[in-house]
Amino acid sequence: MGTHLEELMAPGCELLGTQYAIMCGAMSWVSERHLVSAISNAGGFGVIACGSMMPDMLDDEIVATQAMTKKPFGVNLITMHPELQGLIDVCLKRNVSHVVLAGGLPKGADITRIKDGGAKVIAFAPALSLAKRMVRNGVDGLVVEGAEAGGHIGPVATSVLAQEILPNISDVPVFVAGGIGRGEAIAMYLEMGAAGVQLGTRFACATESIAHENFKKAFIRASARDAVPTVQIDPKFPVIPVRALINDGTKEFMETQRRVVERFHAGEVEQNDAQLEIEHFWAGALRRAVIDGDVTGGSMMAGQSVGMVTSEQPSAEIIAELVSQANSAFDGRRSTG
């Protein structure tokens, strides 16, 4: 690693226990034992996507991953999961070093419980005020993820969130995510004050990814403008937008959302149950795309950096390429400075 890159990534590497402060975003059905262990073995930080797994399934996945790498990796838990406490139990029992809390603001009690159990806690910061609150609640690190990311997204661009949050959070390492596909962007965010980065879409087509050949080919063919967010059809019923490659599955989701919202307004289903029903739709549609290769009717969750995915590469090669590009960017700035 180049001296300047090593210096800027040092706080992130120290938190993660890795050679590079490059996290892999938790992608349901994609971020499992094979990809997670490959990224960690290559010097990055793999993260298991728990998603809708139940505790016994997560336990099996952690044990299998630990058999494939001795390097640190994390587990991403969704805060609205009905079995969250059981999932935390599994992580602590298996001595998982890092727990990433996503899908909503984590409770202070959950942060404390995980930390007391010996694990580090990383959470997502969708705004500066919430970042400050989570730091007060004891998180060890934050991820700033912008709207360019794939899957569930917020409304603000990565570049804006980075400018808002990085200059004002110094107590914990902050990782920037959303739309990052090359090392030059990594260099830029590190110089703005980030301790590291998180990428998902670039790793979806890694050689070690179990994603179906059809899924990977669709990513390689796609351009940035093909990855679009879903539209919320009823402002009275909050549904987090999802960025994905547009296909028939996107249209099916809009129809599903319309039906669920109608049932909610008719008093046939509570709001939480209705939102979970929509999430279950996404989970099933994503599995059809990733595992079964249904790229027409399945959910092709992808970030706008998908246009920079041009081939299937080993995880180690992707990380080496990103590091080389970042170092070249630093070298170029020094030579012209």
> Domain segments of the chain: what residues?
3-210+310-330, 214-304
183: which 2 tokens?
A: 């090392």
Following CA atoms 329, 330, 334, 335 in sequence, which dihedral angle do they give, to the nearest 10 degrees? -40
Measured distance CA(304)–CA(45) in Å, rounded: 22
Q: At what angle do helices 33-41 and 55-68 cross, to 10 degrees?
A: 40
CB 62 within 8 A of CB 91: yes
Measured distance CA(82)–CA(85) in Å, rounded: 8
Q: What angle (nearest 5°) sits at the alpha carbon of residue 268, between those of residues 264 and 271? A: 40
Pairing status of strand 300-301 against strand 242-245: antiparallel
Q: What is the pLDDT along the chain (337 residues), one digit of tens a residue?
A: 558 999 999 999 999 999 999 999 999 999 999 999 999 999 999 999 999 899 999 999 999 999 999 999 999 999 989 899 999 999 999 999 999 999 889 999 999 999 999 999 999 999 999 999 999 999 999 999 999 999 999 999 999 999 999 999 999 999 999 999 999 999 999 999 999 999 999 999 999 999 999 999 999 999 999 999 988 888 778 788 899 999 999 889 889 889 999 999 899 998 888 888 888 888 899 999 999 999 999 999 999 999 999 999 999 999 999 999 999 999 887 766 5
Q: Look at residue 313 and give its three-state secondary structure.
A: strand
CB 89 within 8 A of CB 64: no
Measured distance CA(81)–CA(238) in Å, rounded: 17
Q: What is the DSSP letter of 304?
A: G
Pairing status of strand 120-124 against strand 141-145: parallel
Q: What is the pLDDT of residue 233?
A: 82
32: which 2 tokens?
A: 């499992």
Question: Nearest Cα to 71, choosing from 121, 12, 18?
Answer: 18
Question: Nearest Cα to 154, choosing from 139, 165, 140, 169?
Answer: 165
Q: What is the pLDDT of residue 3?
A: 83
Q: What is the pLDDT of residue 91?
A: 98
Q: What is the pLDDT of residue 335?
A: 66
Measured distance CA(231)–CA(253) in Å, rounded: 10
Across 108-257, the runs of DSSP E, i.e. the strands, are 120-124, 141-145, 151-152, 174-177, 196-199, 227-229, 242-245
Q: What is the pLDDT of residue 151?
A: 93
Q: What is the pLDDT of residue 76?
A: 98
Q: Which CATH superfamily is domain 3-210+310-330 in?
A: Aldolase class I (3.20.20.70)
Pairing status of strand 120-124 against strand 98-102: parallel
102, β-bridge pairs: 78
Q: What is the pLDDT of residue 225?
A: 97
Measured distance CA(95)–CA(118) in Å, rounded: 8
C-alpha pair distances (Å), 112 with each of 77, 116, 144: 15, 6, 21
256: which 2 tokens?
A: 């599903």
